[in-house]
Chains A and B, each alone.
Chain A
Amino acid sequence: MLINCPHCGTRPVEEFTFNGDASVQRPVSTDMDAWFDYVYLRDNPKGRFDEYVQHSSGCRAWLVVTRDTQTHEVFGVVTARDYAKTRVKA
């Protein structure tokens, strides 16, 4: 699997570490249900999936990789920074 790091260019998967679903968002509220959802519940989709990935053996940037969990095809990569910003807007 190859991931195109916005900072470093295309690198193979061995340079990255994964941290699961990026679509879940850390709640600002103190609502227990929202927090439970965030920490424990996952859609775990078969198909298109936004995933946190760190270029840990490279520039160390956290990225959000949109990938098909069945074919492993990568559709796109953005930095976690930009992902967070656009999400705030949305």
Chain B
Amino acid sequence: MKYSVFSLLKNTLSGHKNWAPAWRDPQPKKDYDVIIIGGGGHGLATAYYLAKVHGITNVAVLEKSWLGSGNIGRNTTIIRSNYQLPGNNPFYEWSLKLWEGLEQDFNFNAMVSQRGVLNLCHTDPQRDAFARRGNAMHLDGVDAELLDAQAVRDMYPFLDFDNARFPIKGGILQRRGGTVRHDAVAWGYARGADLRGVDVIQNCEVTAIKTTGGKVVGVQTNKGFIGCKKLGLAAAGNSSEVAAMAGLKLPIESHVLQAFVSEGLKPYIDGVVTFGAGHFYVSQSDKGGLVFGGDIDGYNSYARRGNLPMVEHVIEAGVAMIPGLARVRVLRSWGGIMDMSMDGSPIIDKTSIDGLYLNAGWCYGGFKATPASGWCFAHTIAKNEPHKLNAAYRLDRFRRGYMIDEKGQGASPNLH
């Protein structure tokens, strides 16, 4: 059933009794052309584009828990394409372009909201680094503006300009950046894929990957064995675990990242602002909560919860950036498991095993990537070769020495 003002009114008259389910609750078939492990943003988007762009509809998405229970359901929803390395920026810009048409495309209001992403700088070297990044964006035809302190003040007069330990010297602004209603992205892709025949199967955990003669033949799950010709891994924080089922060892560590939301407030801050002298970034959801976060806790973890030191670290930075926050209250905090890669950039590639494809290493930046990741992964699976946008995201780049390291932190996942 198409969502529209009319369908909404029609159903209102019938007391909303006749809404069709957004997706079926199918039992797994005995085999599929393609199985995607992971009913998160990337897995669902991959299935959606496999069906929509490549006409491959005999597809199942296997999700071990409820739909969108992973990072797609717990991230701070920032979208942007302000990367500086050639391997990255065209990919993320394509993602932003897909976001811009997404809701009409999958007929679901995901509240894509381009209210701007502003990164603050507090030192000259930081500003120089922003200039380098902004110019890289311009080279790729992406919007970026370098702001001085006054321009930042005009946008957000309530930041700490007068009493700061690290005075704000300016910032880099991408107006097309913004936020998206994260859950709705999972729901929209799931519904769109389901409408095109994809089986989205919840509470279906993959426990083993079966290969014969170096080729994938299917997966063992708590709902039994399911055969497939091609298998795509999109398990984010659990990538290592799932890849290990196929005997693969990845350049990835799992870390917990916490996020927070404040009590609902009347409009407080319009766009996304990122502090440059500590770990803190914030935006305000359409429900009124200030959604914010900072850095990963730092220790390897599969627990979706963190500890107090990082909470303090983040909130200290928050009040340092916006003194008025002192009397705002934090409502809830949670965590998600990041697939932190060794250079801070993702992997979308074929693997040494025939028919097995890998999508991983998103760190804390994979939400914005969701559309392009699905798009490119679908292409890589359908064509058995990378799309040019994900050509740099090869698995062997580490062995060969072609890392894509935006931050220059090297092989220390917890520093990216």
Contact = CB atoms under 8 A, between A and B. Distances in A.
B250 A1 contact: no
Interface in B325-359: 342
A42 B412 CA distance: 11
Contacts of A19: 412, 414
Nearest to A46: B302
B300 A49 contact: yes
A84 to B, nearest CB: 20
B303 A40 contact: no
Given A40-B399, A40-B411, A69 B250 contact: no
A72 B240 contact: no
B241 interface: yes
Interface in A35-90: 36-37, 39-44, 46, 49, 51, 53, 67, 69-72
B200 to A, nearest CB: 25
A13 B307 contact: yes
B298 interface: yes
Query: Interface size class for chain B?
Result: 20 to 34
B352 to A, nearest CB: 13
Contacts of B411: 39-40
A20 B414 contact: yes
Most chain B C-beta atoms within 10 Å of own C-beta, residue among A17, A36, A67:
A36
Contacts, number: 73
Nearest to A19: B412
A67 to B, nearest CB: 8
B35 interface: no
A2 to B, nearest CB: 10
Interface string B395-416: 0001100000000000111100
Contacts of B302: 46, 69-70
Contacts of B251: 40-42
Interface string A15-30: 0011111000000000
B307 A46 contact: no
B249 A41 contact: yes
A43 B309 contact: no
A18 B240 contact: no
Contacts of A13: 299, 307, 309
A74 B210 CA distance: 34
B81 interface: no
B301 interface: yes
A18 B301 CA distance: 12
A42 B250 CA distance: 6
B299 A18 contact: yes
Interface string B282-308: 000000000000000011111100011
Given A18-B299, A20-B300, A70-B302, A43 B249 contact: yes
Given A20-B412, A39-B411, A69 B303 contact: yes
A51 B299 contact: yes
B252 interface: yes
A67 B342 CA distance: 22
B76 interface: no
Nearest to B339: A44
Given A40-B342, A40-B411, A17 B241 contact: no
A13 B312 CA distance: 13
B253 interface: yes
A41 B413 CA distance: 11
A49 B253 CA distance: 12
Given A18-B299, A42-B252, A44-B240, 8 more contacts: A18-B414, A19-B412, A21-B253, A39-B411, A44-B241, A44-B250, A44-B253, A51-B299
Interface of B: 238, 240-241, 244, 249-254, 298-303, 307-309, 312, 342, 398-399, 411-414
Interface of A: 1, 12-14, 17-21, 36-37, 39-44, 46, 49, 51, 53, 67, 69-72
16 contacts: A13-B299, A13-B309, A14-B309, A18-B299, A19-B414, A39-B411, A42-B250, A44-B240, A44-B253, A46-B241, A46-B302, A53-B299, A67-B299, A69-B300, A69-B302, A72-B303
